[in-house]
Structure 1
Amino acid sequence: MQIAFRLLIILLAAIPALAILHDGLVRHALTAAAAVILVFAAMGQEKEVSTAAQILKRFSLTMAFPALWMVLQLAPLPFPSLVNPIWSTASAALGESLAARVSINPGATLQSLIAYLAMLSLLISTVIVARDRHRAETLFYVLTTVTTFMSAEWLIGQLDVFAGLIPPTGSTAASAFTAMAALSALANGAAIVMAIERHLSRRDPENASWIPLLTRLALGAFGLAMALTALKSLAAGGVMASIALGFVAIIVVAVVRRLEIRSWPAIILFASIATIAVAISLLRLQDPSAPTIAGFATFATAESLSVAQRAMADTPWLGNGVGAFRSLEPIYRDFGAAPVPELPSTALAVAIEWGLPALAILVLIAIQIFVFMFRAAIRRGRDSQFASAAAAGVLVLLCMAFFDQSLMNATVQIVAAVMTGLGIAQSAGRTSGPG
């Protein structure tokens, strides 16, 4: 178990360097690393592994859905109404029979399936490793430090001396820094709340030493200031609104636990706040010229929006194949226009590659995970900030999926997988069982 724990820390510590490398190289390295970490994690104490398996059991369908959907897109189907019409066109042009599939690029979809399994392995490994509260706390602070360093890396990259080190704003690599800064703000906010709660929960808080509290508050405030400074130049209004909603989730958990309110009334209270916030966002943030999910993309160019809307209009219910957009893009690009290598938001990519029904299901899955961790944080006896920070992170990343393409970046996926795994692992104490 210690080997898996150390490998996880090494992987997280390498993220600032990985963020400026080519995404394809990162994914190849991650696939091997995730497999090794899972093997060592599974070789740990039987009790920790079995408890983690019990917690993950409730998410079995959730975790299986993306893989099953990609397998469906890869498999030859005998029903013409389900397959992509491009295969019948290609068969007629070539004069030979071709296996009809949903995906127009089976190779890219297979690579996406492997990448998903790597992330799933990383999440499962984290759940196993982080069942121990001391390892969970170390992972939490490593995550907080790494994401804060990413914010500092972005700010340093704005200096003339380091010009060109950081990718330009609007690219997938640059949006990764936005996501990291957002998660850093949430993690540092949760660390501040954790420090205050631990001080207040001491048997004699008035006579307890203030040095640990002030040290943790100073470090949390510094990290929070660093993240917010980076976000000032990185993020648009929609991202900042989603981060504010994440902070509300963390604060609601702390207040509700302090007042000893039951979990479901608290969830209903937060759901009401979130509904109002989303309704206001729908009215203010959507671009009237793109009255679909494309209208929420922050850095969308006119050409990328045009390609996305044309592709969405022709997308079958089962999608065009995960990872297949680059094969699809030349069909919908204007003649003589510059290539559009990536879609302006993760939600658009999912809608076109997975299909709209899958997008709806994936949103519901994210909401399910958020509710589970939010409720678990409220019910948790101590260390609730692990679950509340993870719940807030899932909520913010779900919102950001409609604003930019940060979730398409491998380093963001690594942090998201570890943070979510940490929250799931600490959803209950070692003696209380899963919540």
Structure 2
Amino acid sequence: MSILGNKSKAFDSLAALAAAAPALQRELGCADTLREILQQPATWQATAALLREPSVLAQRRAMLTPRPAQAVLTGSGSSIYAGECIAPDLQQTLGVPVQAIAAGTLLTHWRGALPPGGGLLISIARSGDSPESTGVVDQLLAHAPDWRHLAITCNAGGRLATQYRGEPRCVALVLDERTNDRSLVMTSSFTNLVLAGSGLGGRADAADWQDGVRRLASCVQRVFERQSGALAAIANRGFERAVYLGSGGALGAAREAALKMLEMTGGRVHTMAETFLGLRHGPMSSLDADTLVVAFLSPDPAVRAYEYDLLRELDRKRLGLARVLVGEGIGADVIGAQDVAVDLGGLAADDDALPLLADVAVGQVLAFFRCLALGGKPDAPAQGVLTRVVESFALHAGGGA
């Protein structure tokens, strides 16, 4: 049952839903998710300002002095996808190897997965209360003493932020409390964690990065105001599959957007995330007439040339129901009659990290409206299956083989 066709045909954009009475938003099960999607432009600017506060600046510099030989980003679910978004950009700014490794992998196989030699482990978490969050830190504090620990979390009261006070190898960076999303799905928490992580390597100290965050906020605000209706319309097209494409760090954004669609629709839309070049190596066979293709386009012209080639190939082979294309200055020849082009005009990004936040925000809006179109409730779309914080489970001694 579609909210757009049944509850009220007026709810065909974010603005229309935001103008609805709070009681109706709660009845529709979208009040928290709607607020948390819409607050992102404002919270991004708050996170950028936080990274420049004297106490946080001193904290960041202390964790990077001496410069670690390497860094690992870790987390679970959306948090590891945030790490995948951050890693390429942070490697460029730090000038040391940086990779993302899932917390579950470190919990069970840290000896084989964690690079030898010590470094900086950056734990990313909304609540900081999932079993893996502190389980990994406890294990490495005991068995890998050459690793320092930085936690980036949205929850000042979570275990990751509170349990290690007084431990000289551990520091916690706590974001604005608004980013501690109440909805089951992570939206503003995800993008603000990515923003905070991408600023660690020194970008946050530069005035042009702060200007870039402001341009990003303005750009995405325009998308919310002017293009959410087009995203709502395509969400009602009846697709049963969605494929998300990204290059470099945008693969992490694609994985997060795919997870949002999967979570918010309770698995009724099957999703896959892949690189543009990787799609040809088998996954392209899954595209059919009911598949939506969501393409996060790189700001790098050389990379985008490869991406355009793939999109033209999909045209020639007549694969997919329609496409959502996200990027600045999208070529008219790759926009089909059934497609939605979300042009990030004015973003003028000079790094790969900031556009990923816009990519993910578009993915959130698309999943939000697809959930509503299917009669679901975005705030709690998988009742009895998923919980906002993963339930406690036993941590077994001897892990890390």
Tell which structure's C-alpha radius of gyration is larger: 1
Q: Which structure's residues are more often helix, by fraction? A: 1
TM-score (norm 1): 0.25
Q: Which structure's residues are more often strand, by fraction? A: 2
